[in-house]
Amino acid sequence: METQPPDALADGEPRALDPRSIQVERLGGWIFTAIVGAILLVALGIVVLTADGMPAWLRRLLPFVWLVVTILLAWHAHRWPVLAYRHTSYRVDALGIEIRRGVFWRAAIHVPRSRVQHTDVSQGPLERRYGLGTFVIYTAGTDHAKVELSGLEHGVALRLREHFLPSGDADAV
């Protein structure tokens, strides 16, 4: 801590994620929806074509069920990232980081800086296209052995990594 000037990020103010993360999450959700929808469609086709003893009303109903499920998934993929974005924030100060998230089940996770074992900054293909990154903290804990914060601007994630570089070789276990 003494060897580097404190980052401007470490001001103890709550920050939101990069708004572009909504778009990334949506893209991911749509891809998921497309895959699940396609698989369900194939399954539906097989069932309708092979099951002979099926009553006619069920045969007509099944495509509607598929349509409703797919629309619900798509709506969820479109809507959920906005809600999740609204309920996610992080706060960094000299002592550590606090991450808040969760729409229905909410959690605020504090990780003291002195307990950080090591950190990662990762970028998936979608994130790379939008210049975003995921900051990952590893602790020696059990539930929170790995704490991820995705949807950050890549530069911010790198700055966070700098801030959380271990300050000494003290052994926090």
Partner 1 sequence: MPSEQRLHPVTLLFDIVKHLRAFALPALLLWFGASSGGPDGRFSRLPTGWESWLLLLLVPAVAASVVRYLTFRLQYVGRELVIRSGLLFRNERHVPFARIQNLDAIQNAFHRLLGVVEIRVQTGGGTGDEARLSVVPREAFDEMRRRVFEGRSGAPAAVVGDDFVPERPAPTARTLLHLPLREVLLCGFLENKGLVVIGAAYGFAWESGVLNGFWSRLFGAETYGGGLFRDLVGGVIEGQGLPFVAAAAAVAGLTAALLLVRVVSMVWALVRLYDFRLTRVEEDLRVEFGLFTRVAATIPLRRVQTITIRQGPLHRWLARASVRVETAGGAGADAGNLRDREWLAPLIRLSALPALLDQVVPGLDMNAVTWQPVHPRAFRRAVRPGLLIAGLVTFVWAVTLGWSAVPMLVISLTWAVISARQYVRHLRWAEHDEGVLIRSGWIWKHVTLARANKIQAVSFRQSPFDRRLAMGRVRVDTAGAGVASHRVDIPYLDRTVAAQLADRLAVQAASTEFRW
Task: Tell me whether residue 19 or residue 102 sits nearer to partner 1 (CB atom).
Answer: 102
| 2 Cβ neighbours under 8 A, 6+ residues apart | 167
The edge-to-edge listing of strands for the beta sheet with 96-101 is: 14-16, 89-92, 96-101
CB 172, min distance to partner 1, A = 6
Residue 53 vs residues 2, 49, 57, 146: alpha-carbon distances, Å: 76, 11, 12, 51
Task: Tell me whether residue 57 or residue 105 sits nearer to partner 1 (CB atom).
Answer: 105
Task: Tell me whether residue 24 or residue 137 sits nearer to partner 1 (CB atom).
Answer: 137
Q: Burial code of 11-41, b = ≥16 C-beta within 10 A, e = fewer?
A: eeeeeebbeebbebbbeebeeebeeebeeee
DSSP 84: H
The dihedral over CA atoms of 52, 58, 63, 69, expressed in degrees to the nearest 10, equals -130
Task: Tell me whether residue 56 or residue 170 sits nearer to partner 1 (CB atom).
Answer: 170
CB 43, min distance to partner 1, A = 30
Q: For Cα atoms 14, 15, 21, give the angle at the middle one, nearest 5 degrees.
A: 150
Task: Tell me whether residue 45 or residue 112 sits nearer to partner 1 (CB atom).
Answer: 112
CB 11, min distance to partner 1, A = 16
CB 144, min distance to partner 1, A = 4
Write out the residues near partner 1 by the rule CB under 8 A: 95-96, 98, 102, 104-115, 139-144, 147, 169-173
CB 106, min distance to partner 1, A = 5
